[in-house]
Amino acid sequence: MALEASGVPSIAIHTHVFARLARATALANGMPRTRQAFVPQPIVGRSPTNLRAYIEGSDPNSGRPFMQEVIEGLTGALTEEDLRGSSFERSTPRLLAPDTEDNLRQMFIENRWTDFLPIILPTEERVAEMLKGTSHPSDKVVGRLRPARFREFWEFTVEKVAVNAVMAGARPEYFPVILALAASSITARASSTTSFATISVVNGPIRHEIGMDAGIGALGPYNQANATIGRAYGLLSQNLQGGSVPGESYMGSLGNWYAYSAVFAENEERSPWEPLHVQHGFKPTDSTVSVFFGGWYTHAGYGPRETWQEKMRRCLTATEHYNPPLLVLDPIAARGFVELGFDKQKLIEWCAENARLPAREYWDNQWIRTLVHPLAVAGVEPFATRLKAEPEELVQMFQPEDINIVVAGGETQSAWKMFGGAYRGNATISVDAWR
C-alpha cells in the first residue's frame, strides 16, 4: 500500500486462505479496493512446476484466470471509489445496552469476546471493584496491542483492562499483574500461522501477596491467581486488540492450548539461583511479570541422571529453531545441576554450546529460511557465519542470551520441562508500577 501511495500501481498476491484477512487489512488501511489476487495454499514445499500451474490456473476466490486478475489489477481505469479510498471513524461503546443475563452471555459468545469457557459478566459493580486493585485512574491509557505486525494497533484504558479481568474471574488484588501484562505490548493472541502462545512468569513479593502457586502443580489448574491472571491476559489480548477470529484476525493453523492460560510464579525461595527478574536488572524486592513468546513445543525430563547430557542434547536439537527454549526446573533438579557444578549461567551456556545441528538441517527449517536467512545474506552475525558452514558442519542453534531458566515446582519429583519461549526485548514488566 505504501507503493500505491507513492504512485506505483501494485497488486498483492496471497494464498487463498488469507483472503478474509487480506481484505480486512486493506479496509483498515483505508484502501479497501487495493488490488489482490489469490493462489492456492500452500506455496511452501511446492515444486516450480506446481507453482507454474498456480500461475496458469484460476484464482481460487474469484474463479477467474489468475494472471488475468494480476494484469487487470495493474491496468485500466480507476473507479471513483478507487480514487477516494475509504475514511471512517470507529469506536466502541463504554457500556452495552441493558439486557438479561442469558442474552448478554449469548452476545459475548456470538461476538467472540470469550474463550468459550463461562465468563463473569462485567457489570458496573464488578468493574468498580476490580478498579480498586490499582491506584491508576480508570481512563489512563495502558497501551496498544495488535494481532500481527501488519495490523493496526488498538488502544485501551485501565477500565477496559478491568472489564476483561472481571470476565476472566480475577480478583482485584491480581489487577496490577494483569495491567503489567496488558502494558507489555506483547499480545497473548498473536495471529501467526504457527500458533504462538505466551507463557508468563511472576517474580517478587506480589507472588505471596496474591497467593500465587510456585510449588506443587504451579503450571497446572490448581490456583485461582495463576489460572485467572493467565486467562485475563488472553481475553484482554483478543478483545483490546480488535479480535482473534479464525480466518480473519487469527490464522494459527493448529491453535495452542497454552493460550487458555499459562502464568506461574517462580519458586524463588527454593531455587539455588538468583530469580529471573534479578537477571533482568530488577531488585529481589521488586515485583515483575516476564512474558515468553512461543509455546510451540514441550519436552520433559528427570534428573539430572548419568545420561543427562545426551537427553538434554536431544531435547535441544528437537526444538523449533526459531523459538528458543525456556527451561523450567523443579528445585530438586536445579540443585542436582548445582551438585554437578553448574550455576544458572553455566547451564545456559552449556545448552547454547550443545544445541547444534548440521547446517543443512538448520537452514532447511521453514522459519529459519524465511526470517533468519535474509539476515545472514545481509551479513548479520551470528547468522552470516552459520550460512558459511559446510552442509554437514554442526552450527549453533542459539546464543546464550536466547535461553532462559526458571525454577518452579513442589519438589515431589526431580522434573524439568523445556518450552518454546522466546524472551524478546524488555519482556520483564514492573508490577509495582501498576499497583
Closer residue to another protein in complex, CB, 328/376 = 376
We find the least distance from the C-beta atom of residue 127 to another protein, in angstroms, to be: 6
| Region 219-278 residues binding another protein, contact defined as CB under 8 A | 235, 239-242, 251
Contacts of 184 (CB under 8 A, 6+ apart): 143, 289, 291, 427, 429
CB atoms within 10 A of CB 255: 11
| Region 286-325 residues binding another protein, contact defined as CB under 8 A | none
Closer residue to another protein in complex, CB, 51/300 = 51
Q: Does 134 contact another protein by CB under 8 A?
A: no
We find the least distance from the C-beta atom of residue 135 to another protein, in angstroms, to be: 21
Q: Does 139 contact another protein by CB under 8 A?
A: no
Q: Does 69 contact another protein by CB under 8 A?
A: no
CB atoms within 10 A of CB 137: 10
| Region 166-195 residues binding another protein, contact defined as CB under 8 A | 167
Q: Which of 110, 116, 124, 139 binds another protein (CB under 8 A)?
A: 124
Closer residue to another protein in complex, CB, 127/219 = 127
Cα separation, 277 vs 265, in Å, equals 11
| Closest to 286 measured CA to CA, from 173, 149, 434, 175 | 434
CB atoms within 10 A of CB 56: 10
Stretch that binds another protein, among 97-105, 252-260, 268-276, 298-306 (CB under 8 A): 97-105
Q: Which of 109, 140, 155, 274 binds another protein (CB under 8 A)?
A: 155
We find the least distance from the C-beta atom of residue 185 to another protein, in angstroms, to be: 13
Considering only the C-alpha atoms of the chain, give the largest distance between any 2 of them, rounded to a whole number of Å. Answer: 76
For residue 142, which phi and psi values (nearest 5 degrees)? -90, -40
Cα separation, 215 vs 313, in Å, equals 27
Q: Does 90 contact another protein by CB under 8 A?
A: yes
Cα separations (Å) of 346 from 90, 260, 292, 342?
52, 34, 21, 6
We find the least distance from the C-beta atom of residue 243 to another protein, in angstroms, to be: 8
Q: Does 117 contact another protein by CB under 8 A?
A: no
Contacts of 146 (CB under 8 A, 6+ apart): 152, 153, 154, 187, 241, 242
Q: How many amino acids of this chain bind another protein (CB under 8 A)?
A: 102
| Region 357-416 residues binding another protein, contact defined as CB under 8 A | 366, 369-371, 373-375, 378
Cα separation, 355 vs 333, in Å, equals 20
Closer residue to another protein in complex, CB, 78/300 = 78
